[in-house]
Amino acid sequence: MEENKEGAQRLVFGLHVNTKSHNIDQSMNLWEEVRTANQHPSRRSYHSAVMWNEKMFIYGGQDLREGPQTGMWRIEIGQFDQGEWEELKTQDFGPLCRHSAIVKNDSMYVFGGTDGTQEFNRIIVFNLNNFSARSILPDNASCPPPLDSHTACLYEDGTAAWMIVYGGYAAGERSSNVYTFNLNSEKWKQAQTSRGPEGRSNHSAVIYKDHMYVFGGTNEEGEKLSDFWKLDLRTNHWEDIKGKGDVPSGRSGHSAVIFKDVMIVFGGMKDITKETNDMYSYNFESQEWVMFQFEHQIKDPVSNEQLEEFKKSRISPNKKGDPSPTNKSPLLKKNTTESMSPQKTYTRRNTDGSSPDGTFIMPKKKKTLYDGPASPIVGRIRAHPPHPRDGHSAVISGNIMIVFGGDRHQMPFNDTYVYFLVEQTIKTPLKVN
């Protein structure tokens, strides 16, 4: 019965996926880029995203040239169609990035983060029905210190619900502390855990069956971690998991989501200027890692003919063959690092991709991966995976994963993708030829 259902899904999606093959990167065909025609969020990374009533909400984020961003946006993305991006009118709490967000009932809880000059330990609660907002300020010694680049997960045990906060930057160092915020009483408590993982930032964390699973991140020495830990939320006992199979390489700024009995890890930064778009799954029952998408370099879906037409349209009519002084011919730019300038800095602790001395350096000139014509396509572009990236968001809606934003080599994105979750594909290992 399950096999028939999966076959029907492949037929409905119009994707010819050979699930019996073990050496073909089947996942490439399961991606679709979602392009909308009207207003959409500015380029950003290290924002937050949640799903609520089949809509994705994003909040804040950063553009390394413009700095931390403000505002909340939403979009409804279904299996075959999508709405338009909508900017929501909410109370302005100022720019914010590297924060966390969870959703419970009709409330979105945004915790911590930085505005580029200071970190926060407040909670902002948004009512997603009417977009009213309130803030919860720290009120006792058990609450976390000002924190950013941490994780927050929703945990429910049938009687109560908590926001579980782990790791991040705290008081100038990477933290390994665990804090719980009771959503009913709105009180903080620091969890007294057994000895666990070293302090880290820009890791991932998910909840599965009364356990929080933490993967990767960056340690105090700036190393990209590949260790995997499990915290029993009933006993507060940490366990170092030695997974089997294709264990992912160390990374930070990646995403992790839960689909049925697996965790899906996408993208992240393996090293400075070394982002990836590979994908792994971890089966909680078999404790096995599977790599089901290789790393790929992605081109913009604009044909060579369209690019040539665009170049011709940018040639000065006064002197045929010479580029207009104000309109240079577009190029598919090489993926090189951006030249840096100390003209504008945010003083804060060292973050992934920033300078070693801890200043938050802004690039002199904004740069994108592609500087040619916009794609004429509006809607879905099938079999078009995301560029390698870190600092993006990923959420689950039914059997699709939605990915938004992020950056690569300090070049931010504001693109949106869906990945169709076919259980056989994400559990089938790739073979390297």
The answer on pLDDT for 349 being more than 60 is no
* Residue 27 pLDDT class (50, 70, 90 cuts): confident
Instruction: Extract the tokens encoding 288.
Output: 């096995």
Average pLDDT, the chain: 83
Most trustworthy range by pLDDT among 4-8, 192-196, 241-245, 378-382:
192-196
Q: pLDDT tens digits for 284-332?
A: 999 999 999 999 988 876 666 766 776 676 554 433 333 322 222 222 2
* Residue 341 pLDDT class (50, 70, 90 cuts): very low
Instruction: Extract the tokens encoding 326.
Output: 């104000």
Residue 158 is predicted with a pLDDT of: 85
Residue 37 is predicted with a pLDDT of: 85
Report d(CA 79, CA 377) in Å as an integer: 18
Q: Which of 148, 149, 180 is nearest to 163 (CA)?
A: 180
pTM of the model: 0.83
- 8-12, 192-196, 211-215, 398-402: the lowest-pLDDT one: 8-12
Strands (E), 194-243: 204-208, 211-215, 228-232, 237-240
Cα angle: 131, vertex 206, 256; to 5 degrees: 90
Residue 330 is predicted with a pLDDT of: 23
Spell out the domains of the chain, with CATH numbers in brackets. 47-299 (2.120.10.80), 304-363 (no CATH)
Block residue for tokens 């699709």 = 400
Q: Which residue has the higher pLDDT, 190 or 347?
A: 190
Instruction: Extract the tokens encoding 394.
Output: 């990923």
Q: Which residue has the higher pLDDT, 226 or 243?
A: 226
Q: Is the distance from CB of 431 to CB of 22 less than 8 angstroms? A: yes
Q: pLDDT tens digits for 88-98?
A: 999 999 999 99
* Residue 24 pLDDT class (50, 70, 90 cuts): low
